[in-house]
Homo-oligomer: A and B are copies of this chain.
């Protein structure tokens, strides 16, 4: 059988993760080439055994041998590249967010609907083994109907100040993963969004119009409630926890630790911190989403997380922004 040919756009830290994960499927997939050509990471790419570099993104999408394109370029290029690739008939794996602008996202959705290309949006956390287990527990009825969902999502440190203006702010840049998670686990329409937010760390974050601390409450159609708390400065590392409470019990996910060692002394029992970095913490989910993407292409099945999920998470993030700005609960149907 002929192998699938992949092209990759973007060779930053996430692009590299995807390249290595694709190579785990060397039995069925080849990486034909990478765009852009003049990347800093060129040497690294060649060491991985990939030697073809496209001069332009158009060259990549117009290469007739390419079956699928992986988009891990900066957010500002996502929408445009998705549209070009979809119009060229390529299957697509795209990093989130599709765009920070609701109109552009809507435009992307239209193109995807018209072109019918397979599209997988990289909400990788859905494929974390612990989160897959939570979802399984819900579907198997182990906790009954979910009534309260709690998501703790705290970064160890804020992004560079220079990144903040183009980031979309805490809700669109960071909490969007958590909004997707709440929707993924609850599978209900949101009817009300309330957020309260502050700046506790670097005051420049506030001067740039952003926040570093937020608590968001989502009320769902059936009365279920999700609470998401975010911070940009968890001193103890990257804090990623989930709880789903229902009539029959509670399921969830604890933090990982960098290793399973412990030390007990006169001061108490001590255990190591969580992994500090999302790429490390979610290594398994990045690998799993790529495995699923390849399987979807091989078996011509539909990806479970598409562009609609991206729009939904964006809408929740925008409502959260509005709630903070207007200091009130926002009625929605998302």
Contacts and interface: CB of A to CB of B under 8 A. Distances in A.
A59 interface: no
Contacts of A49: 26, 49
Interface string A189-207: 0001010101111000000
Contact of A215 (B225, B258, B269): B225
Contact of A147 (B144, B231, B253): B231
A264 B247 contact: no
Q: How many copies altogether? A: 4
Contact of A262 (B47, B215, B245, B253): B253
A148 B327 contact: no
Contact of A199 (B143, B196, B223): B223
A250 interface: yes
A267 interface: yes
Contacts of A270: 267-271
Given A134-B261, A265-B142, A245 B250 contact: no
Contacts of A150: 150, 152, 229
Nearest to A265: B249
Contact of A217 (B192, B215, B235, B327): B215
B129 A235 contact: no
Nearest to A28: B47
Given A26-B49, A328-B329, A249 B223 contact: no
A115 interface: no
Given A199-B223, A260-B254, A233 B247 contact: yes
Nearest to A219: B196
A149 to B, nearest CB: 10
A140 to B, nearest CB: 10
A77 interface: no
A266 B249 contact: yes
Nearest to A27: B47
A148 B145 CA distance: 27
Nearest to A251: B263
B258 A129 contact: yes
A196 B254 CA distance: 26
Nearest to A49: B49
B227 A263 contact: no
Nearest to A26: B47
27 contacts: A26-B49, A27-B47, A131-B261, A132-B259, A133-B261, A145-B200, A147-B198, A148-B213, A194-B196, A198-B225, A200-B223, A200-B247, A201-B247, A227-B227, A229-B245, A236-B269, A239-B250, A248-B266, A251-B261, A251-B262, A252-B262, A253-B261, A254-B262, A256-B260, A267-B270, A270-B271, A271-B271
